[in-house]
Chains A and B, each alone.
Chain A
Amino acid sequence: MRIVNISIIGFGAVGQGVARSILSKQEYLKKEGIDLRVVGISDSKGSEINTTGIDLKSALLRKKQKGSVGSNNALDIIGDVEHDIVVEATPTNINNGEPGLSNMRLAFKSGKHVVTSNKGPLALHFNELKEAAEDNGLFFRYEATVGGAVPIFNLVHETLAGNTVFGMEGILNGTCNYILTRMSEERMPYDLVLKEAQELGIAETDPAYDVEGIDSAIKLVIIANSIFGLDSTYKDVDVTGITKITPEALELANRNNYVVKLICEAREGKLTVAPRLVPKRHPLAVGGTLNVASILTDLAGRITISGRGAGSIETASSILSDILYIVRNS
């Protein structure tokens, strides 16, 4: 049995999803010969540390009942607790990347691999972080940052190794996709569908981050830097959101066998997020909250993958997969 010690920094929906996934996958991990131990968990209010492994069930319960995983604040988990992998699952901050950015820098400095779902630091300092990992001989895995459960980076870097990727088009924001799908199918105006999405918890109270295309643009930047080797930031993306789209426009599109989708496009070094006409039968024309990415390569041609782009367990799926990748390759 190989003991792998990890920490979970940020215990919101994603962090808790990771804990739940580890709990539900005990049998699987045992079969793989891996004893995955969470030695530290921290949230915005406190932390818990146990070098022989935290009881995840009671940690989840404490979080549910008291709103925090623990009251221990004396130790800095990343810097001071001996472990292998830091799961950085703090919320995305697009202004300065914090606290994720400092967490990741510290992790690499103290010799720990990083697996993250946090888009902020990658959208702002992708190449710096990538180099910090490489310089220290560590892994930096971020499948969960883009497309939730959809394995875009694994697909390109591992499965399609050897291919040259010409371009990528995709739907990377489930909230916008839900709103456009509902507007189109029910012929409802934007404001009404947005309210419905907010009631369902699909859209945030402040929806600007999603509907103005910001979230899509951040994900596109991460793709551009990771897959196309660019050194881009959010400012390099030409962004148009979906707030101006009318039900009449969707109806006109529908009558002519098109749907309108908020498409992220990376092509010839240019990054664009904009509503676009997609032929109804095109693989990019997925509905509901689904995400999709279509990659055009020289050898494999076009490859399209689609799946759930958000959700606690779905995102944890990508994180767990990244953890196992590191375990198997280190």
Chain B
Amino acid sequence: MIVSMTLELKDIPGQLVLALSPISEFQGNIMSVVHQHDEKTPRGTIPVQITFEIEHSVLNKLIDRLEKSGVKVARVGEERLRSTVSVILIGHIVHSDMGDTIDKIDSTGFAEVVDMSLSMPAIEKTSSAYLVINAIGEKELGKALDIMREVAGKKDLLLIEPIRLNSVGS
């Protein structure tokens, strides 16, 4: 899951490291850190917004660790559905129960079909659909695509995925 947190740090040296190192220790992947030194809270602390990807199961342990080390966790929010992918389906989409296809993605809890356009030229002809799938992280998006591939295979639909080399080794 992707989490965004607002932490409050004491205005003394070494506090940012104190806040970030537990995230790495719990295998979190830090995506952004916004550290605004000139915006103090009424309590005299410095707010820091951190966004990171982490396993759901260790989130509470992480919060405990931060609090114990003197970092105040002012806000925790889940950044839902940050990753997105577009696909096209071709075939007898409506007859093969489009609702069920979408349900299979939505019921995962980590991915949703957030947009769909359908084009049906004539009753006997194959239809085409453009779908946007969002997921909470890249890994989950990959799983959602796996589900789409399986469903497309079973229902004899052609699934057109985006090119993907951009992510290899970079």
Contact check: which of B121, B130, B161, B169 meets A298 at CB < 8 Å? Answer: B169
> Which residues from chain A contact B120 at a C-beta distance below 8 Å?
248
B88 interfacial contact with A, CB 8 Å: yes
Q: What is the count of residue pairs linking A and B with beta-carbon distances less than 8 angstroms?
A: 86
A252-B128, A275-B160, A296-B170 as given contacts; A245 in contact with B90, CB under 8 Å: yes
B-contacting 9-mer, from A5-13, A107-115, A276-284: A276-284
- Is B119 in contact with A251, judged by CB distance below 8 angstroms? yes
Contact check: which of B86, B90, B129 meets A244 at CB < 8 Å? Answer: B90
- Is B162 in contact with A277, judged by CB distance below 8 angstroms? yes
Bound-state CA distance A256–B85 (Å) is: 12
Contact check: which of A169, A251, A255, A276 meets B161 at CB < 8 Å? Answer: A276
Bound-state CA distance A167–B125 (Å) is: 37
A253-B130, A256-B130, A277-B86 as given contacts; A248 in contact with B119, CB under 8 Å: yes
A23 interfacial contact with B, CB 8 Å: no
> Which residues from chain B contact A274 at a C-beta distance below 8 Å?
160-161
A198 interfacial contact with B, CB 8 Å: no
- Is A252 in contact with B163, judged by CB distance below 8 angstroms? no
A246-B126, A248-B121 as given contacts; A167 in contact with B162, CB under 8 Å: no
- Is A252 in contact with B169, judged by CB distance below 8 angstroms? no
Min Cβ gap A255→B in Å is 7
- Is A244 in contact with B91, judged by CB distance below 8 angstroms? yes
> Which residues from chain B contact A282 at a C-beta distance below 8 Å?
163
In the complex formed, the residue of A with least CB distance to B131 is A252
B107 interfacial contact with A, CB 8 Å: no
A166 interfacial contact with B, CB 8 Å: yes
> Which residues from chain B contact A249 at a C-beta distance below 8 Å?
88, 90, 119, 128, 130, 160
Contact mask A254-287 → B, CB, 8 Å, 1/0? 0110101001010110000011111100101000
A244-B90, A248-B128, A277-B86 as given contacts; A260 in contact with B121, CB under 8 Å: no
Bound-state CA distance A282–B158 (Å) is: 23
Min Cβ gap B29→A in Å is 21
Bound-state CA distance A281–B95 (Å) is: 35
B165 interfacial contact with A, CB 8 Å: yes
> Which residues from chain A contact B90 at a C-beta distance below 8 Å?
244-246, 249
A294 interfacial contact with B, CB 8 Å: yes
Min Cβ gap B2→A in Å is 24
Contact mask B81-94 → A, CB, 8 Å, 1/0? 00000111011000
Contact check: which of A252, A265, A279, A298 meets B88 at CB < 8 Å? Answer: A252
Supplied contacts A240-B158, A244-B158, A246-B121, 5 more A-B pairs, CB within 8 Å = A251-B119, A253-B160, A267-B164, A277-B160, A282-B163
Which 6 A-B pairs give the minimum distances between C-beta atoms? A248-B119, A249-B128, A252-B130, A166-B169, A248-B128, A277-B162
A-B contact pairs, 23 of them (CB 8 A): A166-B168, A167-B165, A167-B169, A169-B163, A244-B91, A245-B158, A248-B127, A248-B128, A252-B130, A253-B130, A253-B160, A255-B130, A256-B86, A260-B160, A263-B163, A267-B164, A276-B163, A277-B160, A277-B161, A277-B162, A277-B163, A282-B163, A294-B165
